[in-house]
Amino acid sequence: MFEVARLVVAAEIAKIHTIEWTTQLLYDEPLNRGMKANWSGVFAKQEVVADALKEVVRRLGDTNDAKKANSLYAALAGGPGIFGLGNHVYEGVPLVGLLDPNKVDRWDLKNDDHINGGVNHFGSPFNFPEEFITVYRLHPLLPDLIEYREWNKEPNVIRQQVPVVETFRGKATEAMRQKGLANWALSMGRQRLGFLTLQNHPQFLQNLKMSRLQSPTQQIDVAALDLIRDRERGVPRYNEFRRQYGLKQLTSFDDFADKHEQDSNERTTQEQLVKTLREVYGQHQCDASKKITEAQLNDDGSPITDCLGHPHGNLIDNIEDVDTVVGWLAEFRRPHGFAISETQFVVFILNASRRLFSDRFFTSSFRPEFYTTLGVDWVMHNGPGPEMMEQGKPNGHEQQVSPLKRVLLRTIPELARELQTVVNVFDPWARDRGEYYSLQWKARAGAEGDEAFGSGQVPSLLAEPPR
Ligand code: HEM
């Protein structure tokens, strides 16, 4: 039972990450479709097409032309979805369109090719590359203070500012016991993430006590370590990192500034940060005879040199020295609803898909033989019992009540009222979601008094029930 439960929990975590967390971190329609395609496929409701594509994709995995098969495979897998790929095997289904959905499922527990048939490692053993670690250094998301609330008094009221540093390591268990999971969940559910940008690391991470260290300060600076570790591990610096992923290189620090942002406070801040980058990383007189990369060529086929297209001898920014984390934090222009930058996105999306592609329990072994029927239904329906649907059509789509919301409703039932209006638990709970993919920061009905929305008034305090 433990092993089965472990599979179900792992699949639930992967599902939460794919269709709930990522779709909120990257809050727009293309991403919503993309992540759904990743999990259940764009043709989820058209079983014949989905099954036919599943078969094509499965067979592509067996072909010898690796390069062609890999790209077709990754593209076509969006049809049926990656999750559950190859968990049905039909005989004589050579091509799309020729599928007879009434054919008998030949998937056989004794056949290793069936058990593993849905897995694709794309030519190298599965691992999370160092690049993924780099773009997941999301420490600026963390605040210094948690705005602590209590569910059974007036949730709109921030009762205490609890330093994050008082809530983890040896202090975590005590904090959970003392204040209770419901209050912590409510507090974190209502609080916004920190913005992933430069100069936004929380103070506590920059001065983190480590009493076992034999250093004068006995503390570490995690913001600095985010850069030091990448240097130690040989992760390329920002510009080369982008080139190796096939992205456009930058030729000066000014390229970070958002060209569409004119004469605004935002633009002034960006220019200030660009100036700081220039001070920190400096400039040099460039040498056009020095070739600097094998990863890409200029548009005209010539090698990329130290001058990055500027005339020989010009004073240019030391953009090649910018640390990768600094570079992606400095990408000020982001697509609608994107909390992360383009560079991070490219690495995320490759690894998010690959994590599913490479695991037989997420593909061909997602079967009752391993998960039990209860387990398969649990993963498919986001929890026990029949499918539960969200009210209305959030952003134009009918959708199941999402998996983490089901977990919270089940395990912390005190929060049922608070969660009533929540569609995605990674969206701040008291935010009015407004119209189609709105990013407005406005309180929903009933939370107008919440100080987090900057109203300044706390009428709800007056309405607070006696303690
Ligand atoms: C209270 C919260 C957190 C604390 C105290 C913390 C602290 C740390 C520390 C001490 C390290 C190791 C530094 C070293 O290399 O010596 C680290 C690494 C890391 N952290 Fe955090 N962190 C926190 C939250 C987060 C969050 C929320 C994320 C991402 C969502 C994150 C992502 C990472 C990553 C990707 C690494 C690198 C891991 C590796 O090198 O394999 N951390 N963090």
- pLDDT by residue (tens digit) across 352-408? 999 999 999 999 999 999 999 999 999 999 999 899 999 999 999 999 999 999 999
Q: Which residue has a Cα nearest atom 12 of ligand 1?
A: 222
- pLDDT by residue (tens digit) across 366-376? 999 999 999 99
Cα(50)–Cα(66) distance, integer angstroms: 23
pLDDT: is 379 or 92 the higher one?
A: 379
- pLDDT by residue (tens digit) across 97-130? 344 567 788 899 999 989 998 888 888 888 889 9
142 lines ligand 1 (CB under 6 A): yes
> Is 178 within the bounds of a domain?
no
Cα(186)–Cα(422) distance, integer angstroms: 12
| Alpha carbon of 223 to ligand 1 centroid (Å) | 9
| Alpha carbon of 139 to ligand 1 centroid (Å) | 7
Query: E strand or H helix at 315, and its extent?
Result: strand 315-317
b/e per residue 92-111 (b: at least 16 CB within 10 A): ebeeeeebeeeeeeebeeee
Cα(113)–Cα(394) distance, integer angstroms: 41
| Alpha carbon of 131 to ligand 1 centroid (Å) | 15
Least trusted range by pLDDT, from 79-88, 89-98, 245-254, 262-271: 89-98
pLDDT classification of 44: cutoffs 50, 70, 90: low
> Is 279 within the bounds of a domain?
no
> Is 167 within the bounds of a domain?
no
Is residue 404 helix, strand or coil?
helix
Cα(150)–Cα(8) distance, integer angstroms: 31
Compute the average pLDDT of residues 416-427. Answer: 96
Query: Ligand 1 atom closest to Cα of 141?
Result: 27
pLDDT of amino acid 95: 38
Cα(177)–Cα(131) distance, integer angstroms: 37
Cα(63)–Cα(57) distance, integer angstroms: 10
Least trusted range by pLDDT, from 6-15, 263-272, 416-425: 263-272
313 pLDDT above the threshold of 70:
yes
Residues 146, 439 contacting (CB under 8 angstroms)? no
pLDDT of amino acid 263: 78
Query: Ligand 1 atom closest to Cα of 136?
Result: 35
Residues 243, 296 contacting (CB under 8 angstroms)? yes
pLDDT of amino acid 46: 62
458 pLDDT above the threshold of 50:
no
> Is 375 within the bounds of a domain?
yes
460 pLDDT above the threshold of 60:
no
pLDDT: is 240 or 126 the higher one?
A: 240
pLDDT of amino acid 49: 65
141 lines ligand 1 (CB under 6 A): yes
> Is 387 within the bounds of a domain?
no
pLDDT of amino acid 86: 85
Residues counted in the chain? 467
CA distances from 391 to 388, 397, 402, 403, 409 (A): 10, 10, 12, 15, 15
pTM, to two decimals? 0.90
pLDDT of amino acid 315: 98
- pLDDT by residue (tens digit) across 250-263? 999 999 998 888 87
Residues 20, 401 contacting (CB under 8 angstroms)? no
Cα(141)–Cα(163) distance, integer angstroms: 15
17 lines ligand 1 (CB under 6 A): no
Range of the domain at 74: 2-126+358-381
Helices (H) and strands (E) in the chain, counts: 19, 6
pLDDT classification of 411: cutoffs 50, 70, 90: very high
pLDDT of amino acid 456: 43
pLDDT of amino acid 80: 74
pLDDT: is 417 or 461 the higher one?
A: 417
Cα within 13 Å of Cα(142), Cβ side: 19
Cα dihedral 409, 413, 415, 420 sign: positive
Q: Which residue has a Cα nearest atom 4 of ligand 1?
A: 205
134 pLDDT above the threshold of 80:
yes
pLDDT of amino acid 92: 64
Give me the amino acid identity at 12: E
- pLDDT by residue (tens digit) across 201-233? 999 999 999 999 999 999 999 999 999 999 999
> Is 215 within the bounds of a domain?
no
Cα(86)–Cα(226) distance, integer angstroms: 39
| Alpha carbon of 222 to ligand 1 centroid (Å) | 8
Cα(128)–Cα(285) distance, integer angstroms: 38
pLDDT of amino acid 96: 37
175 pLDDT above the threshold of 80:
yes
Give me the amino acid identity at 242: R
| Alpha carbon of 175 to ligand 1 centroid (Å) | 20
Domains contained in the chain, number: 1
In percent, how much of the chain has pLDDT > 70? Answer: 89
Residues 317, 306 contacting (CB under 8 angstroms)? no
> Is 97 within the bounds of a domain?
yes
Cα(377)–Cα(18) distance, integer angstroms: 18
465 pLDDT above the threshold of 60:
no
Instruction: State the chain's mean pLDDT as an integer.
Output: 90
The residue ranges of DSSP E strands in 74-184, in sequence order, are 145-148, 160-163
Cα(274)–Cα(255) distance, integer angstroms: 9
| Alpha carbon of 137 to ligand 1 centroid (Å) | 7
Partners of 433 in the beta sheet?
A: none
**15: how many CB neighbours lie within 10 A of its CB?**
22
> Is 9 within the bounds of a domain?
yes
